[in-house]
Amino acid sequence: MDRLPVFKALGDNTRYAIYLELARSTMPLATADIADALGLHANTVRPHLERMREIGLLGVEVENRGVVGRPQHRYSVASDAPSLGLEPSTFRLLARLLAQVAERAGADPELLAEVGRVQGALAAARQPARGCVDAVMAELAELGFDPVAADDGSTTTVAFTHCPFSELAEAFPHLVCHLHRGIVEGIAEARGDAGVTHFATLADRDPCQVQLTAQ
């Protein structure tokens, strides 16, 4: 998602308040629900919702129960919208519980990486015109890793200056880092013009970086 329209949309105080209300909700909300929560008129809220829907921040469900009148629209944050750290606390709890289950089950690093590779292949498919390095950089930037690349000719080292999963990664590095590795490997395999020659995790002396070598 192009972040400039996102920042412009959320630069409006009313839209930001609406987005925050939806991001913290565990269920889709109707226009009237949002208006009541924020003390606004529904006619004020409606165009802001439509603007955020147009740029891809929101998804909408149309609810028609067979009664006379306008079908009710319920809004939620789109699945591919930037998180902005606004996920409901229940999502973070669920992520931690699932990580505990995987750790106690003794999840194999390659099994974890394979799950990540599937996600990486999907990410690569969304940007077919990009080469491996550009696709990795774009996907990691979208996820919030704030990547920085250094190229020495045949090998590009991509460092992750920020980890959006830091809370879980510090508690479960074995799980999170190998899922992350798999995402990068999945992108590289799908693009085919470079391969992962080294992936440094939190267990390494120079953590949180990947080396991509041209093929």
pLDDT digits (tens, 9 = 90+) for 135-156: 999 999 888 888 999 998 889 9
Q: 94 and 146, same structural domain?
A: yes
CB 177 within 8 A of CB 129: no
Q: 171 and 109, same structural domain?
A: yes
Residue 69: predicted pLDDT:
60
Q: Is the pLDDT of residue 84 over 80?
A: no
d(CA 82, CA 156): 26
Q: Which amino acid is at 71?
A: P
Question: Is 84 inside any structural domain?
Answer: no
CB 156 within 8 A of CB 215: no
Domain containing 63 equals 3-77
CA end-to-end span of the chain? 29
Please tell me whether residue 214 adopts helix, strand or coil conformation.
strand
pLDDT digits (tens, 9 = 90+) for 91-147: 778 888 999 999 999 999 999 999 999 999 999 998 887 899 999 999 998 888 889
pTM, whole model, 2 decimals?
0.65
Domain boundary among 77, 109, 139: 77
